[in-house]
Structure 1
């Protein structure tokens, strides 16, 4: 298993902290104090972001164990940028809401900068997966 430097661990912790604090300031006030019921999409998004912020708090203590949470964030934002924002930009149809989301998604650039790619590859790609059948005695 590749060694992960203390600098890289603190970089990951900083990413988790930035995400947790950002969502605590933006999402949690509306989760805790919303006057009217949310629509389906708005409720799903707010609750998923609240859960994500809590998982990022755990990531501050366990940065390597919570890497899949950061990969989920990086993956969905990359997909969104490629299949929603890029075509809208190329066709000249990007509206204000899409541009705002583009800016928010662009903050994810800090994730690949902090990611310990060698560790991620060894631990999540190369390592043998958990068994699928009962162990034989």
Structure 2
């Protein structure tokens, strides 16, 4: 039996495809055409967008292995909306750039709809963590040998 249904895998692939096409149409061409030196903040944004775009391409083939990319996208956008956009909107100080970014970030509402929450709980919350020390890694082998 499959741990995640085929339909859920297709939903994940659709999300990765939305990112690949969306960034590929609206962001990547201008990032790649940019000539000269970038400002620090814009350079960081451009590099992160390109990294997200490239990793989302991998998500088309490996949707479960690339889940941390979608989780990162979900977390940073929710944090930004809560820490920047919401307070600015409530105070009536939201400028056009912040409003545009808030609109773009609002598409993050799609991510929780496609995430395989049961899989995430089993593999990221309930599963034992990786060992911290070399002796921790050998401990299960010793227990088996001693039994």
User: Structure 1 length as normaliser, TM-score?
Assistant: 0.95
Which residue of structure 2 lines up, in the alignment, with residue 98 of structure 1? Answer: 98
Q: Which has the larger radius of gyration?
A: 2
Give the superposition deviation at 1:5.
1.1
Matched position secondary structure for 2:123: helix
Separation in 2 of the partners of 1:28 and 1:83? 27
Q: Which has the higher helix share?
A: 2
Do structure 1's residue 75 and structure 2's residue 75 form an aligned pair? yes
CA deviations over 1:34-56 (Å, ceiling 9, x no partner)? 13311111011001100110000
Gapped runs of 5+ residues in structure 2? 143-147
How many residues are paired up? 137
Cα separation, 2, equivalents of 1:83 and 1:52: 22
SS in 2 for 1:65: coil
Question: 1:83-137 deviations in whole A, cap 9, x for unaligned?
Answer: 1111111111111111100110011111000000010011011100111111336
Cross-structure match for 2:113 = 113
Is 2:122 the partner of 1:131? no
Q: Which fold has the larger relative contact order, with Cα–Cα distance below 8 Å and residues 6 or more apart in sequence?
A: 1
Q: Report matched runs for 1:1-137 at 5 Å.
A: 3-134=3-134, 135-136=137-138
- Range with bigger deviation, 35-44 or 57-66: 35-44
Runs of 4+ in 1 over 4 A off after TM superposition: none
CA-based RMSD: 1.5
TM-score normalized by structure 2? 0.88
Gapped runs of 5+ residues in structure 1? Answer: none
State the Cα distance separating 1:21 from its structure 2 match: 1.1
Displacement, 1:11? 0.3
